[in-house]
Structure 1
Amino acid sequence: MRVRETVREAVVTPVAFPDPPLLNSAGVHQPWALRAVIELRCGDGLVGLGETYGDSAHLRLLRAVAPALTGLDPFDTHGLLRRVRAVLGDDTDTPDRHGLTGGSSPQKTTLRVLSPFEVACLDLQGQLIGRPVTDLLGGKVRGEVPYSAYLFHKWAAHPGADAGEEAYGEDPYGEALDPDGIVAQAKRMTDTYGFRSIKLKGGVLPPDREVETIRALRAAFPDHPLRLDPNAAWTVETSRRVAAETEGLLEYLEDPTPGIDGMAEVARGAPMALATNMVVVSPDDIPRGFAERSVGVVLADHHYWGGLRRTAELAGICRTFGIGVSMHSNSHLGISLAAMTHLGGALPELSYAADTHTPWQYGVDVLTEPLPITDGSVAVPDRPGLGISLDPDALARLHENYLRCGIRDRDDTAYMRRFDPSYRKRRPRW
């Protein structure tokens, strides 16, 4: 048993992979999604993996921290946090440019820089003692973690020659700009992956049209829990109306309106729980967000809550206050899916299926054997650490994508304005 290994090198590799033209309240996804792959190398082929955002401001902080991790004991995650804080100093308020994961703060920036390194440390810990990460989080409470189909209004393809499609072939889902298109997308996705719950990214069409889409989904999937997430695109008044009109249709309504105060106003009369990944997004938000009962479900995201252990702590706090727990997703690769699956496998509080963008990556990954989604769930790996292996050739290809794609920051609004110069991101819009 190797227990005295230390980090010899921390490597940060930015990557890009094709992203379909998925619509949301901020605009539309660009042709390439950005991520950063973290490797904590300890010698003799021992490597811990993490994954995080690839935007330039975040990448700069990751690269600043990486050299400071030489000599770190992978079991010393308190020491990891001290090193991250020492490097960042006052440089701790980088914005979320696309605005889909809530506001920024110094605390949130520190935690999202910490997160991928913490995941990589846990991966190393598990490999060193021969146990899966789930065991390091308290043990397995479920052998499979359920995930939800994640539906988007989308264009048939990126306009013009805006790249990406050649890397994964023909888009199997096509256009979805009306209820029929969304239902067809849902049927294909559930047939392929066996999802047993369904989430629709809203805030794209007028609210009445999205209510119509939810009704069409309920007719097509009478037994699937449904969710709707307009990313704060509605006023309090519109949110109240939609909540009333979707009574009995939705498992929860996610971030219908901006801010803790607005969410609290809607929550007081909504017949279903309100969920969030936009208003309770760091420990600073918990006291007021929970005291005002602004949310009934928190979509925990280890990428900005500080890693797996801190997200487990969040789940425990949610239990204390009677708040449900799910997991939020952004465009991601298999390292993130593995980390989410280990976390979900160890969380007694996980009361709703987690989100995932995995189907939208069309099989592109950096792993030798990506974890499959079967019957709507991912089996928790029993192998040591995260139970995954990096494919160096795939990593090199995706890094080459990054170098040549020209995108350095996600900006859904700016990309939308290339095709509709009058477009503005407004919250609320309706």
Structure 2
Amino acid sequence: MTSHAIRHVRVTPIAFRDPPLLNAAGIHEPWALRSIIEIETDSGLVGINESYGDLPMLEALAKAAPALTGLSPWALNEMDTRVAALVAPRQMSASEFLGQQVSLAPGTHVSKTVAKVISAFEVAMMDLQGQLANAPVVDLLGGAARPAVPFSAYLFFKYAEHIDKPYAPDPFGEGITPGQMVAQARRMIDQYGFKSIKLKAGALPPEQEVAAMRALAQAFPGAPLRIDPNANWTVATSLQVVEQLRGVLEYYEDPTPGLEGMAAVAAACDVPLATNMVVTDLKEFRRNAEMGCPVKIVLSDHHYWGGLRATQRLALMCETFGLGLSMHSNSHLGISLMAMTHLAASVPLLSYACDTHYPWQDDEVVQGGRLQFEDGSLRVTSTPGLGVQIDREALARLYDNYLNTGIRNRDDLGQMRKYDPGFTGHQPRF
């Protein structure tokens, strides 16, 4: 009888081009880091996934990988237990502590290490399960509640090219003025068909960002609009901005730091607040509920929530408490995008179009190249597992990028200091 026990875990770090996108913490470096996870069974089947690729994550994955040896691909609960026993949250160094003060999302925080590693292995194991059952991952999650998942145009203020100039500028060009942001949105919507628009804010003075939002509202009448300053505004500024954008916003994402700050904004604001920063696990979910749910929309991210099953539990909690649900994104390629799609397709409660950075990346690691959006949505695959396979030549090339970039940890703050040596990244800054 063929054995399908796990015999080996391979983790390959990769790097791919990333544009000079501005945010509250600084600016994206020229190269984004990810890891490609492959879990192989005795029978030769391989399940795949994509996750974070910074050095602490790679070290945690390497530490936990031996725990999977001999496990069945179906033994997700046992995998959870083994990983949690091996990968305990560690103490931060002084430099890491500083980085946490200007972090954009909890995916960078060491407290999420266990959840991140569990998620990294869970998705690859579920890809294996799908191959064994001859079923797509969405069916393992209960079946598709929708055949395709809507995504949103994700706009960034940006420079035309990196100060380092390691490669040719991206085709979007500069995005600073309202007119440039409208052109950025139009290019993205024309190419992908997105129906809603999100603006990453918190990078420029608020009045400039308000002007951009007003220009977008005028250029795309009726399109749902969101703004996300990544907690870089005070409560007072948050309330001033939302008043200036009255009638414009679909939801207001993380305008100010902390759940207490969000509650203060919610008390004086009739636009629903969304977050991927202050409700990032079920303990924080409970605290939000105990405060009367000032946060009305949770933007999940299976990469740091603990996987696909954990996000399904979150969806049930959101439904129970009358909260909305959608998805957060980070710089990623097609394996992550397809995992997000299977998950979002399986969740009956999906209140808003999901975030994705995918239009900002021009590379890919899956066979067949870039995944194709249809009318702003991505269709969930019906083939076994995730429905994508690794392109070995592309993986080798992106691994070579990793070896040659010299970047081992994301550092938006350090990159911004190349443009502005006095930049502190202090939050809230406005």
> Please, what TM-score do these two structures have when normalized by structure 1?
0.95
What's 1:222 paired with? 221
Q: Is the 8 A contact 1:92 1:105 kept in 2?
A: no
Q: What's the C-alpha RMSD, in Å, of the aligned pairs? A: 1.7
Once the two structures are superposed, residues 291-332 of structure 1 have per-residue CA deviations (whole angstroms, 9 ceiling, x without a partner) of 222311111000000010101111111111111001000000
* 1:136 counterpart (135, 140, 157): 140
What's 2:103 paired with? 99
In structure 2, how many angstroms separate the alpha carbons of the residues matched to 1:3 and 1:79?
21
Cα displacement (A) at 1:73: 0.7
Cα displacement (A) at 1:66: 1.2
Cα displacement (A) at 1:45: 4.1
Q: Given the superposition, is the C-alpha separation of residues 180 and 105 from structure 1 closer, same or farther in structure 2, using an over 3 Å criterion?
A: closer
Structure 1 segments, 4+ long, off by >3 Å, are: 89-98, 102-107
* 1:119 counterpart (118, 123, 131): 123
What's 1:7 paired with? 6
What's 2:308 paired with? 308
In structure 1, how many angstroms separate the alpha carbons of the residues matched to 2:92 and 2:294?
25
SS, match of residue 402 in structure 1: helix
Cα displacement (A) at 1:107: 5.4
In structure 2, how many angstroms separate the alpha carbons of the residues matched to 1:181 and 1:105?
33
Letter of the 1:331 counterpart:
S
SS, match of residue 16 in structure 2: strand
In structure 2, how many angstroms separate the alpha carbons of the residues matched to 1:281 and 1:356?
18
Q: Given the superposition, is the C-alpha separation of residues 90 and 291 from structure 1 closer, same or farther in structure 2, using an over 3 Å criterion?
A: closer
Cα displacement (A) at 1:246: 1.3
- Map 1:14-413; keep pairs closer than 5 Å: 14-89=13-88, 91=90, 97=100, 99-102=103-106, 108-161=112-165, 163=166, 165=167, 170-292=169-291, 293-362=293-362, 364-369=363-368, 370-413=370-413
Q: Which 10-residue stretch deviates more, 9-18 or 268-277?
A: 268-277
In structure 1, how many angstroms separate the alpha carbons of the residues matched to 2:223 and 2:189?
10
SS, match of residue 49 in structure 2: strand
Cα displacement (A) at 1:47: 0.9
In structure 2, how many angstroms separate the alpha carbons of the residues matched to 1:51 and 1:103?
14
Q: Given the superposition, is the C-alpha separation of residues 368 and 174 from structure 1 closer, same or farther in structure 2, using an over 3 Å criterion?
A: same
Cα displacement (A) at 1:172: 1.0
Once the two structures are superposed, residues 147-171 of structure 1 have per-residue CA deviations (whole angstroms, 9 ceiling, x without a partner) of 000000010001143x2x35xxx51
Letter of the 2:149 counterpart:
V
Unaligned runs of 5+ in 1: none
Cα displacement (A) at 1:245: 1.7
Q: Is the 8 A contact 1:3 1:129 kept in 2?
A: no
SS, match of residue 381 in structure 1: coil
Cα displacement (A) at 1:3: 8.6
Q: Is the 8 A contact 1:233 1:257 kept in 2?
A: yes
Cα displacement (A) at 1:358: 0.6
Cα displacement (A) at 1:4: 5.1
Q: Is the 8 A contact 2:153 2:198 kept in 1?
A: yes
Letter of the 2:115 counterpart:
L
Cα displacement (A) at 1:22: 0.3
> Please, what TM-score do these two structures have when normalized by structure 2?
0.95
Unaligned runs of 5+ in 2: none
Q: Is the 8 A contact 1:35 1:53 kept in 2?
A: yes
Once the two structures are superposed, residues 230-267 of structure 1 have per-residue CA deviations (whole angstroms, 9 ceiling, x without a partner) of 00010001111111221210111100000000001101
